[in-house]
Every structure is written in structure tokens, then in C-alpha cells.
Amino acid sequence: MIGKLLDKCLKKKWTDEAVLNYVGEYQDAFITHSTDVSVREKSASGGTTTSLLIQGLKSGDFEGVIVCKTSVRKGRVRARFFIATTVEDILAARGSKYVEAKFLAEVLPLIRGFEGRLAIVGLPCDITALKRFCNKYVDIANKIVFTIALFCGHNSRIALIDEITARIERESQKQIVDYRFRVGNWRGQLEAVFDDGTVKSKPTKYFNDYQNLFFFCQRKCMSCNDHYGYDADMSVGDVWLFRLRSSPIKHTGVIVRKDAGIRMHDIALAANAIDSSKIEIREIMDGQSRIGPSHYNVSARHKAGRLFGVHIKDTVKQEVAWHEYLNALITVGNMCLSEKAWGEKVIFGTPRPILKLYLYFKKALESL
Ligand SMILES: Cc1cc2nc3c(=O)[nH]c(=O)nc-3n(C[C@H](O)[C@H](O)[C@H](O)COP(=O)(O)OP(=O)(O)OC[C@H]3O[C@@H](n4cnc5c(N)ncnc54)[C@H](O)[C@@H]3O)c2cc1C
Ligand code: SF4
């Protein structure tokens, strides 16, 4: 009841032009989740991505999937790409990795060395970069039969995860051997697995308070307006609607863009691997109503960047309201602060309650 009321209050009006600008071309939208509780367990949201990939492998639509796994060496958490050829491999890659990775540098040699057809999961910028390569190199294009883009607010530099994991190791006096950025319902928890087999969970805000303030945001994200993955066959993301907050099952929002996306959705549905209901694209956008528009608004960051001596190319040329400008000042300013050694000290030395107030202020600006 309260959830529905909150959703109603926060609902934005999405014109057809806004849908086209923010989401791009699409055919259908669904609210979904994996029907297998053991798949959902360690997935980022509803486990739909994993279920679709498993079903595609089983149906013989592709022989391999490029997935992103967490690799931990000496307590350092990194994201690495692999080709999964079994159900177990796909399951091992569940969950979002909120840390910079070298997508093309790692993925292109994998594709070239693989005999067979591939599905690929990636962030919007990576799927677009891959598409450019496919336009140039037929040998690569011929192997890729299905692409999924994850909705993406932005990604973080390694400095952030290194500080978070170092703190957890200091607190626990143990070394991290595996790490999950987010598991569980709604915002969920992060999980660190130690060398003695024990696991420590913390609310995701332990990492996300910094992330949501754009501290240690990658520079490339400043000039990115693609939140939903324009160039993929299908896009997937969370559904942050308050009416779903107390749901025992977390959902994945799915935007089907191309025929390959329709086919994979239908295959998973026919195999009863996912539960899926059609929804209005605007509901998906309501679930991203804060970050979606501010992500798209490169014009605001372009303007704000001037104050910090950062050139951000304005690719969307839209009018910038005062609150959008102020929000962009915080976004660009916080990224710049993270690039200085003294800035890092300020960021990590700021008491949590102050960070929290700052974050609420930023979220309020994003919600206007
Ligand atoms: C950096 C980042 C930012 C995101 N921002 C948003 C956002 O603002 N709003 C939103 O709704 N959703 C966002 N997501 C997507 C969201 O976290 C979930 O990934 C999505 O809901 C799919 O959930 P799932 O349960 O279906 O995926 P799962 O079944 O858990 O499968 C996840 C798949 O994603 C792949 N993967 C994980 N991390 C990466 C990565 N860094 N690069 C390439 N592939 C990867 C894995 O290989 C795995 O196959 C983001 C994800 C990432 C990695
Ligand atoms: S915000 Fe854009 S550039 Fe940054 S990681 Fe996401 S898709 Fe890539």
C-alpha cells in the first residue's frame, strides 16, 4: 500500500520522445525472474540473465557465453571475462561486478579463439564497442548470435573496491578469497568469503554510499548517455519500484529489442525457466526514474565539467535545469576529488552520517 503510494508520488511523465531518447528502439518489456530459487540465490536481481543464458546453451542456440567473473588475488577483487560452455560456468558468473574491467582487450581474443557461436553479456558501452568491431570484422560478427546489455548507472574504479575490501580484511583479520558485490532482496548485502571458509555480510551501502555519490566513477561514464543498452538484442536491469520492496522474489526488468532477444525470452519461458509478465516500458523507466534521466543528461555534466577543467563532450544537447546542473556539479566534482591523493583521504575520512546526508541531497536533486 505505502509502496504503491510512494511509486505514485515519484512517478515521472515519460513522453514518447523521452522513451526513444532514454531507452532507444525496443519491441517489448517484461518483468521477470528465474523460476529456480537456487539460480536466484546469488544473482544480481531476478536471475533472469543466468536463466536465459543456460536455456540458450541447452537449446543449442550458442555453444559458449562470454561472462564476467570475480577474480580475487591477494585480497584484490577484479572483474575478468571468460567463455562459459557449461551450466556450472554460467552459474559461477552470477551477480554484478561494480568494478572497472578491460572488456574489449579480454573479450576479443576470447572470441577469436573460440570455435562456435557465442552469447555475450556486457555493459552498454561495451556492447556498443563490440558492435563497432562486428561492423569491421566479419569473423567476429559471425560468431556472436545474442547480446545482453545490463542497465548501467556507471562503473567504479578499482580504488574504491580496494579500500572497501581492505577495510573488511582489517576488521576481520582474514584474507578475502571470494567476493559478491550484491546478493539478496531489494538492496541486499555484499558478501566477503575468507580463506578459512567463513563469510561476512554487510549491507550494500557499505560500498554503494560511495558509489552512488560517484566517488571513484570511471571518467568514461561522464560522457555516456546510454543507461539501457541501445545496441543490445536485449537489456536487463533491476526494477526499483517500492511496491516490490517487500516481495520475497527480486525481479529483473527486461527490454527486448531485436528478434534474437524475443527468441531467447520465448525459449526460456517455454522451458519454464523464467516467470515473465509483459509491462509498459514506462514502468521499467519508473524503476530507474532517478538515475535514468540524470545518466542521459550529458549536457549537464558538460556544463559542470567546465568548472573543474574537465572536457566532457555534449552528445545530447538538452536544456539543463538548475537542479540538473547542481547534481552534475556534485557528480563531476566527486569524480575529480577521487582522482587526488588528498581527495581520497577526505572521502574515506568523512563520517558515514555526513556521507549519508550528502547522498540524500544528491538523490533529492536526481528525483526532482
Ligand atoms: C557496473 C554495473 C552497473 C549497473 N547499474 C545498474 C543500474 O543503474 N540500474 C539497474 O537497474 N541495473 C544496473 N545494473 C544491472 C543489475 O545489477 C543486474 O546485473 C541486472 O539486473 C541483471 O540481473 P540478473 O539477476 O538477471 O543477472 P545474473 O543472473 O546475476 O547475471 C549477471 C550477468 O552479468 C554479467 N556481469 C556482471 N557484471 C558484469 C560486468 N561488470 N560487465 C559485464 N558483464 C557483467 C555476469 O557475467 C552474469 O552473466 C548494473 C550492473 C553493473 C555490472
Ligand atoms: S555508464 Fe556508460 S560508459 Fe560507464 S560503464 Fe556504464 S555503460 Fe559504460
pLDDT (tens digit, 9 = 90+) per residue, 15-56? 999 999 999 999 999 999 999 999 999 999 999 999 999 999
Helices (H) and strands (E) in the chain, counts: 17, 11
Same-domain check for residues 107 and 49? yes
Same-domain check for residues 279 and 365? no
168 in Cβ contact with 185 (< 8 Å): no
For residue 313, the model assigns a pLDDT of 96
CA of 315 to the centre of ligand 1 (A): 25
Q: What percent of the chain has pLDDT over 70?
A: 99
* 89 CB-contact burial (10 Å; exposed 0-12 / middle 13-18 / buried 19+): middle
The grid coordinates listed for 55 are 536455456
Beta strands per DSSP E along the chain: 28-34, 64-73, 76-84, 118-122, 144-150, 176-183, 189-194, 199-203, 234-238, 252-256, 274-278
pLDDT level of residue 168 (50, 70, 90 thresholds): very high
User: What is the domain range of residue 344?
Assistant: 297-368
Of 251 and 246, the structure prediction assigns the larger pLDDT to 251
Same-domain check for residues 346 and 366? yes
Dihedral in degrees, nearest 10, Cα atoms 31, 35, 38, 39: -50
Same-domain check for residues 150 and 261? yes
For residue 351, the model assigns a pLDDT of 97
Average pLDDT, rounded, for the chain: 95
Mean pLDDT computed over 154-165 = 97
Mean pLDDT computed over 274-303 = 96
Closest Cα partner for 240 from 188, 275, 202, 193?
188
Mean pLDDT computed over 185-206 = 93
Same-domain check for residues 42 and 118? yes
For residue 250, the ligand 1 atom closest to its alpha carbon is: 25
CA of 352 to the centre of ligand 1 (A): 26
Looking up residue 258, the CATH number of its domain turns out to be: 3.40.640
- Domain assignment present for 194: no
- Domain assignment present for 23: yes
Whether the CB of 220 sits within 6 Å of ligand 2: yes
Mean pLDDT computed over 121-146 = 96
As a whole number of angstroms, the longest Cα–Cα distance in the chain is: 56
Same-domain check for residues 98 and 148? yes
- Domain assignment present for 171: no
pLDDT level of residue 282 (50, 70, 90 thresholds): very high
Whether the CB of 225 sits within 6 Å of ligand 2: no
- Domain assignment present for 211: no
* pLDDT, tens digit (0-9, with 9 covering 90-100), for 346-363: 999 999 999 999 999 999
Q: What percent of the chain has pLDDT over 90?
A: 90
Mean pLDDT computed over 259-277 = 97
Whether residue 1 has pLDDT greater than 70: no
* pLDDT, tens digit (0-9, with 9 covering 90-100), for 79-96: 999 999 999 999 999 999
Domain final residue, candidates 266, 287, 308? 287
Q: Which residue among 94, 96, 154, 288 is best mutated to probe the pocket of ligand 1, counting the most ligand atoms within 8 A of its Cβ? A: 96
The grid coordinates listed for 136 are 569491421
First to last CA, the chain: 23
Same-domain check for residues 110 and 16? yes
For residue 7, the model assigns a pLDDT of 73
For residue 53, the ligand 1 atom closest to its alpha carbon is: 49
For residue 2, the model assigns a pLDDT of 67
Whether the CB of 289 sits within 6 Å of ligand 1: no
Same-domain check for residues 244 and 345? no
Helices 352-367, 322-338: crossing angle, 10 deg rounding: 140
For the chain, how many structural domains are there in total?
Answer: 2
Q: CA-CA distance, 340 to 80, in Å (whole number)?
A: 27
Q: CA-CA distance, 368 to 290, in Å (whole number)?
A: 8
Ligand nearest to the CA of 238: 1
Whether the CB of 49 sits within 6 Å of ligand 1: yes
Q: CA-CA distance, 113 to 11, in Å (whole number)?
A: 47
Same-domain check for residues 109 and 257? yes
For ligand 2, atom 3, the nearest C-alpha belongs to: 221
Whether the CB of 121 sits within 6 Å of ligand 1: yes
Closest Cα partner for 81 from 101, 61, 54?
101
Domain final residue, candidates 224, 252, 287? 287
Whether residue 222 has pLDDT greater than 80: yes
Same-domain check for residues 83 and 226? yes
Same-domain check for residues 363 and 235? no
Residue with cell 545474442: 146
Mean pLDDT computed over 153-169 = 97
Q: CA-CA distance, 365 to 356, in Å (whole number)?
A: 14
pLDDT level of residue 242 (50, 70, 90 thresholds): confident
Whether the CB of 312 sits within 6 Å of ligand 1: no
Whether residue 188 has pLDDT greater than 70: yes
Whether the CB of 180 sits within 6 Å of ligand 1: no
- Domain assignment present for 181: no
- Domain assignment present for 74: yes
Query: 210-236 burial string, b = 16+ CB within 10 Å, else e?
Result: bbbbbbbbbeebbbbbbbbbbbbbbbb
